[in-house]
A and B are shown apart, each in its own frame.
Chain A
Amino acid sequence: MEEIKININGRDIVTSADRTIMEAARDHGIEIPNLCYEERLEPYGSCRICLVEVEGARGLLPSCYTRVTEGMVIRTNTDELHRIRKTIIELLLSDHPVDCMTCERAGNCKLQDLAYEYGVKKSPFEGEVHVYDILADNPLIERDYNKCVLCGRCIRICREVQGVGVYDFVNRGFKAVPGTPYGKPLQETPCEFCGQCVSTCPTGAITSIPSKGKGRIWQVEKVRTTCTYCGCGCQIDLHVREGKVVEVSSPVMVGPGEGNLCVKGRYGYGFIDHPDRLTSPLIRKKGKLVEASWEEALDLVARSIRKAVDTSGPDSVAFLTSARCTNEENYLMQKLARAAVGTNNIDHCARL
């Protein structure tokens, strides 16, 4: 991409023409506050927090949406911008329960951070506050639109990233709110329960039910690991509290999944502490499964395969691999089957 020169807050910056103002600023250590912006999504420009001044432009421009052009002179932190951002936060808080004391998202909420940064203790605006029923119509996802800031991120992630499109806004004016078709419960929509909407919601409006009340962000230790469900290798953060995994999230724009998870990666962690979970190999001895060491178990497998090959030929053995292995592991498995054992009887669970 073409390199261009711009100026942000008096600093000359060289950037590339495909960057938005927000990206170019961030590349150079200048953070522009935002709310509806999400790296995984197409820019939207709705919250108006990221507005900046651009010389010669008609009015303020959303920095998340506007691409840089040669010679652009941008200001991100004027008094007027500060006042406008503050007004927007005050307006948002004038229609918000402000019950951070008990909110799941406290400490991990963009609205809270903005209110803190702009020193909005109490909104000077009074008026109607929404009272919506909390929607907990399924075991995984709870929706409390009283806390919704209408950033549209849930709508967009479901449509743009998941390709599902469960939500859109309904109604207009003050009554506008995200919703499902005809207000149906999530199970009656094509929802996949991936929880992507949970992951992008900047407030406590969409939260996970299994982790409810199990610890807020500062109470958990995040342990970075790789999801074990498939070979994609999505990076996940296990939220661990008192030795127990209480929630799973994925770091945005990190690893192959870039912060996106499916239902298994996000919600399928119940097996970790499950009493039925196998933690060592079992060998059936005299009709009973008995715990064994890995060495003993692998030896037994190797011997049995050899015996079968010796007595009935290589095609008496078949190999089945798993989608939970990486491509490399699956490759090695077929190598083992074809080269070491000498059979083409190799298959994969993903084909079943």
Chain B
Amino acid sequence: MGEERTRYKLVLGYGTCGIAAGANAVKTALEEAVEKGSYDVDLDIAGCMGYCFKEPIIEVTDRERDYSVVYGDLDAKKVLQVLEEHILNGRVIEEWVVRKSDDPSFGEGDFLANQHRIVLRNCGRINPESIDEYIAVGGYQAARKALTQMTSEEVIDEVSKSGLRGRGGAGFPTGTKWGFARKARGEEKYLVCNADEGDPGAFMDRSVLEGDPHSVIEGMIIAGYAIGAKQGYIYCRAEYPLALKRLEIAIDHLHQRGYLGKGIFGTDWDFDIKIKKGAGAFVCGEETALMASIEGRRGMPNPRPPFPANEGLWRKPTNINNVETLAAVPWIISHGGDKYAELGTEKSKGTKVFCLAGKVRRSGLAEVPMGYTLRQVIFDVGGGVREGKEFKAVQMGGPSGGCLPAELLDTPVDYEAITATGAIMGSGGMIVADSSTCMVDLARYFLSFTQEESCGKCVPCRIGTKRMLEILTRICEGKGVPEDMEKLQTLAADIKAASLCALGGTAPNPVLTTLKYFRNEYEDHILRHKCTAGVCPALITLFINEETCTGCGACLKVCPTGAISGEKKEPHKIDPELCIRCKLCLSRCPTESIWAE
């Protein structure tokens, strides 16, 4: 934390989401201006605050008044105006404000107000590249406490008491898993942090690593001590360069402080961490494939048993935990397992981070207590569907999750309740679909992902999902036959039962859930040759509404096949023979007179 000599502190959101939205330009502009001018500010960076939909953002804290405002949708020019108006003249630029610290109802304030942040406790609040800032907010107190005041068993008990379950997808009780690894026979044991995060639409682990890498490392130190592992690995994909950089910085700092290495925290306990970069295969997130990859082999899963707790890395007892699981651990040790267990449902305790993506108005990172309903997450936190469109479905749990309809919006965020619907909690991806999404096409998309990412080892997943995908493609192309639905169903059941790992075991979920909840769309495609959402090119026709068309010609200009004709200022027409249904015109029409059916 900077020395408190200036009145204002400016913190720039500098995670991948911010950088992608243009934070680098904002940063340069800010730094230059502050260098030249005489503003009463100091600058700092932080990871993602969760407001991905408003990036680039900047939080201005007025230290005199203990008050802060978050500005969003900034650019290099706007940020200079913030300096002029807010810092020099003390005038808040209301229309750019995303959140005011003293008024949660203002702007997008309820986005944060409706959350409960444990894992994300420091994300967006501290500079992730500074160990001092982490320590200033109580960092490494939990590790110190565990190592100096608790036995390994007491640590495991505390985590068991918290009810924490693995956030990597399977939801296995963390304390129990640590207990297995602790009891496993063997001198050498390993602790692995799974930071592969390969599902499209998921970025919670990345955000935590970019925004608060120390919390994960502290969790690892505690976990290593609990199970008796002196060597930790972080398996992180090379596509996360910023996360990797911040992890490396953090590990360097820890070595300098004696918090990693030999005799850490002044005890006789040794613990160190190596980073292993993955090449970015979805399947390498599966724990046995991940270990194969660390060992230098091709990342392919192996059957379990034997479980990693008994035969893991190099056949030694190994415990693997997800980033989010580990980041919750220091909080649990500091505040007590009971405190964590106060949140949530009977079997799912604590909080869960979700990545809101798709057609949701506020796409970003949200942490809510277990037990919140999907409706609360999507509407109260996420702000509902974009452009006021109608909610149609939410894909829960990434590509191997399931697609749930509006009727199930009151399902609580709870492992068992979500599994009962046919979806999975997974790692916490929530992709929202509105009426413009075709559910058959959506299922096809997710299956094409899992098929491509299948490691190819076992037959049901390698060929089975390929055949399912081909059937779905046929349906989307209008070549489906009524038996296809039955065929999908039975093949899906066999794939789920026979696949070696959970990639194949869950790959059919999007198909099964859409068949269950959106069967009418399959029937529309197959029996009536219609794609009601207007998505599948082979099944739609584009029309121009003669009443509202102003004859501006915008559509005519973009049509690549010359299918549109019409005199200026007269209603235009589309020739269905020439139209290739690319929908370019639809996106250009200023009066929304073009529709697909």
**B residues in contact with A51, CB < 8 Å:** 498
Interchain CB contact under 8 A, A48 and B456: no
Interface string of B241-281 (1 = CB under 8 A from A): 00000000000000000000000000000000000000001
Q: Give which listed residue, A80, A88, A127, contacts B466 with CB less than 8 A.
A: A127
Residue of B nearest to A95 (CB): B463
Residue of A nearest to B487 (CB): A124
Q: Is A7 an interface residue when CB atoms closer than 8 A count as contact? A: no
- Please measure, in the bound complex, the distance between the C-alpha atom of A80 and the C-alpha atom of B458, giving whole angstroms: 18
Interchain CB contact under 8 A, B470 and A48: no
Interchain CB contact under 8 A, A127 and B498: no
**A residues in contact with B464, CB < 8 Å:** 87, 91
Interface size class of A (residues with CB under 8 A): 35 or more
Quote the shortest CB–CB distance from A219 to chain B (angstroms).
31
**A residues in contact with B459, CB < 8 Å:** 46-48, 88, 91-92, 149-150
Interchain CB contact under 8 A, B494 and A172: no
Number of chain B residues close to chain A: CB under 8 A: 31
Q: Is B390 an interface residue when CB atoms closer than 8 A count as contact? A: no
Interface residues of A in 66-103 (CB under 8 A from B): 66-67, 80, 83-84, 87-88, 91-92, 94-95
Q: Is B78 an interface residue when CB atoms closer than 8 A count as contact? A: no
Quote the shortest CB–CB distance from B584 to chain A (angstroms).
30
**B residues in contact with A149, CB < 8 Å:** 459
Q: Is B298 an interface residue when CB atoms closer than 8 A count as contact? A: yes
Residue of B nearest to A92 (CB): B459
Interchain CB contact under 8 A, A47 and B458: yes
- Please measure, in the bound complex, the distance between the C-alpha atom of A150 and the C-alpha atom of B464, giving whole angstroms: 14
Interchain CB contact under 8 A, A65 and B494: no
- Please measure, in the bound complex, the distance between the C-alpha atom of A177 and the C-alpha atom of B455, giving whole angstroms: 10
**B residues in contact with A60, CB < 8 Å:** 497-498
Q: Is B454 an interface residue when CB atoms closer than 8 A count as contact? A: yes
Interface residues of A in 120-170 (CB under 8 A from B): 124-128, 149-150, 152, 168-169
Quote the shortest CB–CB distance from B31 to chain A (angstroms).
43
**A residues in contact with B487, CB < 8 Å:** 124
Quote the shortest CB–CB distance from A70 to chain B (angstroms).
14
Knowing A61-B303, A172-B452, say if A87 contacts B498 (CB, 8 Å).
yes
- Please measure, in the bound complex, the distance between the C-alpha atom of A169 and the C-alpha atom of B456, giving whole angstroms: 9
Q: Is B460 an interface residue when CB atoms closer than 8 A count as contact? A: yes
Knowing A128-B466, A173-B453, say if A45 contacts B302 (CB, 8 Å).
yes
Q: Give which listed residue, A45, A84, A94, contacts B467 with CB less than 8 A.
A: A94
- Please measure, in the bound complex, the distance between the C-alpha atom of A80 and the C-alpha atom of B470, giving whole angstroms: 25
Interchain CB contact under 8 A, B456 and A172: yes
- Please measure, in the bound complex, the distance between the C-alpha atom of A126 and the C-alpha atom of B483, giving whole angstroms: 14
Q: Is B431 an interface residue when CB atoms closer than 8 A count as contact? A: no
Residue of B nearest to A159 (CB): B297
Knowing A66-B303, A84-B498, A91-B467, say if A174 contacts B451 (CB, 8 Å).
yes
Interchain CB contact under 8 A, B298 and A48: no
Interface string of A261-303 (1 = CB under 8 A from B): 0000000000000000000000000000000000000000000
Interchain CB contact under 8 A, A169 and B470: no
Interface residues of B in 297-345 (CB under 8 A from A): 298, 300, 302-303, 305
Interchain CB contact under 8 A, B494 and A84: yes
Quote the shortest CB–CB distance from A167 to chain B (angstroms).
11
Q: Give which listed residue, A83, A91, A168, A177, contacts B463 with CB less than 8 A.
A: A91
Interface string of B432-469 (1 = CB under 8 A from A): 00000000000000000001111111111011101100
Q: Is A176 an interface residue when CB atoms closer than 8 A count as contact? A: yes
Quote the shortest CB–CB distance from B66 to chain A (angstroms).
53
Q: Is B113 an interface residue when CB atoms closer than 8 A count as contact? A: no
Q: Is A171 an interface residue when CB atoms closer than 8 A count as contact? A: yes
Interchain CB contact under 8 A, A173 and B452: yes
- Please measure, in the bound complex, the distance between the C-alpha atom of A51 and the C-alpha atom of B303, giving whole angstroms: 11
Knowing A45-B303, A61-B303, A176-B462, say if A150 contacts B457 (CB, 8 Å).
yes
- Please measure, in the bound complex, the distance between the C-alpha atom of A61 and the C-alpha atom of B467, giving whole angstroms: 24
Quote the shortest CB–CB distance from B116 to chain A (angstroms).
32
Knowing A46-B500, A84-B498, A168-B298, say if A62 contacts B462 (CB, 8 Å).
no
Which residues of B are in contact with A by a Cβ distance under 8 Å? 281, 283, 298, 300, 302-303, 305, 451-460, 462-464, 466-467, 470, 487, 491, 494, 497-500, 505
17 A-B pairs with C-beta separation under 8 A: A45-B500, A48-B460, A48-B500, A59-B497, A60-B497, A60-B498, A67-B305, A84-B498, A87-B491, A88-B498, A91-B463, A92-B463, A126-B470, A171-B456, A172-B281, A175-B456, A176-B456
